[in-house]
Structure 1
Amino acid sequence: MNDVAAAAGVALKTVSRVVNNEPGVNTATAERVQAAIDRLGYRRNDGARTLRQGRTSSIGLVIEDVADPFYSGLSRAVEDVALGHDYLVFTGSSGESPTRERDLVLAFCARRVDGLIIVPAGEDHEYLTPEVDAGIAAVFADRPPGAGPETDIVLCDNSSGSRAGVEHLIAHGHRRIAFLGDSPAIFTAQERLRGYRQALAAAGLPYEERLVAMGPGDQARVQADVERMLSSPEPPTALFTGNGRMTVATLRVFASLASFAPPGVRHGGGAEPMERPALVGFDDFELADLLKITVVAQDPVGLGRTAAELLFQRLSGDDGPPRRVELPTRLVDRGSGEVGPGS
C-alpha cells in the first residue's frame, strides 16, 4: 500500500479509502490511485483486515458426505447465504465418524472461523463447549446434537413424512409393507422407523420384525435384505425405503431380479415369478421423476438456507434462546406407490 501511495503521490490514508470504497476522495484522485493499483498489481490483504475487525469472514460446514445429493443441495444453500454476507465456507465430510466430525470442527475452529454448521455424526458434543463459550456461533442441521452446548437446531419432520408415505401405501390396499432403513443409531433413521410404526398402528396392522431391515446403505446389504423379504412365504406387497440411497439400491435389486412377473400376475410361490412390490422412498433424487418413483420429499435447500440464516443472525448479535426449527416434508406421487397388491 505504501508503494501505491508513493506511485500515486497521495497519502497512505487516501489509498486505504479507495481500496475500502470509503467516501472522502475526489474522482480524479481516486482514478489516479486506482491506476497505480492496477499498474503495481496490489491486492488487499483481507485476512489482516478481518482479523483487525475480530472476524475472519468464514464459516465451517461439516456434513455426512459431500457426494450425497441431499448434502450437495444443503451445502449450496449455505454457500449462497454466506456469499450474500461476503463470507467464505469451508466444507468437510465426516463420513458418519464422530472422531472425524470432531477433528474437522476443531480444525475449523483453529483456523478461527466465525461460525459452524454441523450435521452431527456423534452423540457427544462437549468438545464444542469451550469453542462456543469463546464466541464461535454454531447451528446443528438435519439431526440434533448429543450432550454439549445449547445451540439452534434445524431438522426436517422425519416421522410425519415417513408416516405419510406408509399411510399412502396403506390407502392403496397394502397390508404387508416392508421398511428398509439406515443404521438405527442415526437419528433420522430412528425417526423414520417411528413414523412407519405409527402408520401401521393407526391402521390396526401388526409390526413385524421380519419386514424391517436397517443397516448401511451399501448395495450388497440392501440386495440381501430385499431378496430375503421377497422370497419369503408371505412377501411384502410394498416397500418403504428410508432414504434416497436405499431407494436407488432397491431399484437396482428390482432390475437384477429377472423373475418379476408382468403387471397383473400374482406371486404364487414355487417357480412362478414374483410380483414387483409397490415402492415409496423417503427423499427425492435425480431421475426419480423419469423413473416415476413416489417419494416423500425433504427440502435440503431449505434446510441449508434456514441453518445459515440462523447462524448469521447469531453472528449479527442475536443472543436470544436457542431455537429448534422443523421443516415439513411433502408426498410426491408418481406411480410406484399408487398400485394395489395384485394390480
Structure 2
Amino acid sequence: MKDVAAHAGVGLKTVSRVVNGEPGVTPDTERRVQESITALGFRRNDSARVLRKGRTASIGLVLEDLADPFYGPLSRAVEEVARAHGALLVNGSSAEDPERERELVLALCARRVDGLVVIPAGDDHRYLEPEVRAGLATVFVDRPAGRIEADVVLSDSYGGAREGVAHLIAHGHRRIGFIGDHPRIHTATERLRGYRAAMAEAGLPVAPAWESLGSTAPERVAAAAAGMLGGAEPVTALFAGNNRVTVTVVRVLAAARPVALVGFDDFELADLLRPGVTVVAQDAAALGRVAADRLFTRLGGARPEPERTELPTRLVPRGSGELPPAAP
C-alpha cells in the first residue's frame, strides 16, 4: 500500500479508503489510486484484514439442492447483496439431509464466515447456539429454524396453496388431489394446510386417497398421480406442491385424459406448454435479497429481536388451472 500511495501521490489512508470502498475520496483521486493499483499489480491482503478487523468478509449459503432451478435466483440475489457489501459468498448443498446440513454449517463456521443464510433440512438447530452467542449472524430462508429463535424469511406457502386450490374450485372442480413433498418439511405441511383450508371453506370433503406427501422422486410422484386419476371417483384436478412435483405431473398428464393442474412454484417453459401451466409463483430472488439484507443489517451492528418476514405469492393463470371438469 505504501508503494501505491507513493505512486499516486496520496496518503496511506486514502489508498485504504479506495481499496475498502469507503467514502471521503474525490473521483479524481480515486481514479489515480486505481490506476496505480493496476500499474503496480496491488492485491489486498485479506489475511491481514481478518487479523485486524476480526472479519473474513465472507458469508455462507446452505441450500437444499444447487441443481434445483428454484435456488438459482435466490443464490444470485444473496451473492449480489454480498458483493455490494464487499463480501464473498461460499455456498453448498445439504441434499435435504439434516446431518449433512449440520456438517456443512459447522464447516463454514470453522472457516470463520461472518454470517450464514440457511435453507434448513433439519428441525433442530440448537447446534448453532454457541456460534450465535459468539456473534455469528444467521438468517433462515424458506423454512424456519428448529428449536432456536432466529430471523426467517418465508413465502406465504399456506396462503398461496389456498389461493391455488380455490382457483380450481372456482372453475368447477370438487375432487382435487394434492401431491407434495416430505411431511417433515415446513413448506410441504403449510401447502397441505392451505389445500385443506380451501376445500373446507368450499364445504368439500377430502378423501384420504386425494392426499399424498413423500419423496419428489419422479416414480413416487407418478404413482401418486396415477392412483388419484384412477379408481371409482378419480380426481378432476391436481394441485402440485412444488416445481419438481409439477414437472412429473405434467409428464403423467401428457399420456392421460385432460385434468386441470395448478403447481406451486413457477418453472422454465411452463408458459410454452399447451395448455400453459397455471402456477402459484413465489419470488425466489426476493427471498434471497431480503434474507441477505437482514444478515448484513446484523453484521453492521444492529441487534434487533429475531423477525419472521413472510413474502406474498402470486397466482399466474395460464390455462391448465382453468380447464373445466371432464364430462363423466
Q: TM-score, normalised by structure 2?
A: 0.90
Whole-Å Cα distance in 2 between the matches of residues 59 and 243 of structure 1? 28
Alignment CA distance shift 1:209-1:49 (3 Å): same
Between the aligned residues of both structures, percent identity stands at 58
Alignment CA distance shift 1:39-1:140 (3 Å): closer
Shift of 1:8: 5.6
What are structure 2's unaligned runs of at least 5 residues? none
Paired AA for residue 86 in structure 1:
G
**Alignment-derived partner of residue 272 in structure 1:** none
Whole-Å Cα distance in 1 between the matches of residues 177 and 244 of structure 2? 16
> Do the aligned residues in 1 keep the contact of 2:8 with 2:32 (CA within 8 Å)?
no
**Alignment-derived partner of residue 291 in structure 2:** 307
**Alignment-derived partner of residue 45 in structure 1:** 45
The answer to whether the aligner puts 1:290 opposite 2:272 as a matched pair is: yes
**Alignment-derived partner of residue 214 in structure 2:** 215
Whole-Å Cα distance in 2 between the matches of residues 167 and 77 of structure 1? 32
**Alignment-derived partner of residue 189 in structure 2:** 190
Structure with max Cα Rg: 1
**Alignment-derived partner of residue 153 in structure 2:** 154
* Mapping of residues 79-90 of structure 1, within 5 Å: 79-90=79-90
Shift of 1:107: 1.0
Aligned residues, how many? 319
1:198-229 C-alpha deviation (Å, 9 max, x unpaired): 11111111121101111111111111111122
Shift of 1:66: 1.1
* Mapping of residues 269-280 of structure 1, within 5 Å: 275-280=257-262
> Do the aligned residues in 2 keep the contact of 1:19 with 1:44 (CA within 8 Å)?
no
Alignment CA distance shift 1:76-1:39 (3 Å): closer
Alignment CA distance shift 1:317-1:233 (3 Å): same
Alignment CA distance shift 1:111-1:201 (3 Å): same
Alignment CA distance shift 1:216-1:56 (3 Å): same
> Do the aligned residues in 2 keep the contact of 1:200 with 1:207 (CA within 8 Å)?
yes
* Mapping of residues 92-131 of structure 1, within 5 Å: 92-131=92-131
Shift of 1:6: 11
Paired AA for residue 289 in structure 2:
R
1:237-259 C-alpha deviation (Å, 9 max, x unpaired): 0000000110001111123x2xx
Shift of 1:186: 0.6
SS at match of 2:130: helix
**Alignment-derived partner of residue 332 in structure 1:** 316
What are structure 1's unaligned runs of at least 5 residues? 261-274
> Do the aligned residues in 2 keep the contact of 1:155 with 1:326 (CA within 8 Å)?
yes
> Do the aligned residues in 2 keep the contact of 1:141 with 1:155 (CA within 8 Å)?
yes
SS at match of 1:69: coil
Paired AA for residue 55 in structure 2:
R
**Alignment-derived partner of residue 71 in structure 1:** 71
> Do the aligned residues in 1 keep the contact of 2:15 with 2:33 (CA within 8 Å)?
no
Paired AA for residue 225 in structure 2:
V
Whole-Å Cα distance in 2 between the matches of residues 6 and 79 of structure 1? 31
Shift of 1:14: 4.2
SS at match of 1:213: strand
Shift of 1:19: 5.4
> Do the aligned residues in 1 keep the contact of 2:4 with 2:15 (CA within 8 Å)?
no
Whole-Å Cα distance in 1 between the matches of residues 5 and 185 of structure 2? 62
SS at match of 1:217: coil
> Do the aligned residues in 1 keep the contact of 2:259 with 2:326 (CA within 8 Å)?
no
1:137-180 C-alpha deviation (Å, 9 max, x unpaired): 011110011113x2111111111110111111111111110000
Shift of 1:34: 5.8
Q: Which runs of 4+ in 1 moved over 6 A?
A: 22-25
Whole-Å Cα distance in 2 between the matches of residues 220 and 161 of structure 1? 26
Paired AA for residue 99 in structure 1:
E
Paired AA for residue 67 in structure 1:
A
Whole-Å Cα distance in 2 between the matches of residues 305 and 24 of structure 1? 29
Whole-Å Cα distance in 2 between the matches of residues 78 and 24 of structure 1? 28
SS at match of 2:321: coil
SS at match of 1:337: helix
**Alignment-derived partner of residue 263 in structure 1:** none
Q: TM-score, normalised by structure 1?
A: 0.86
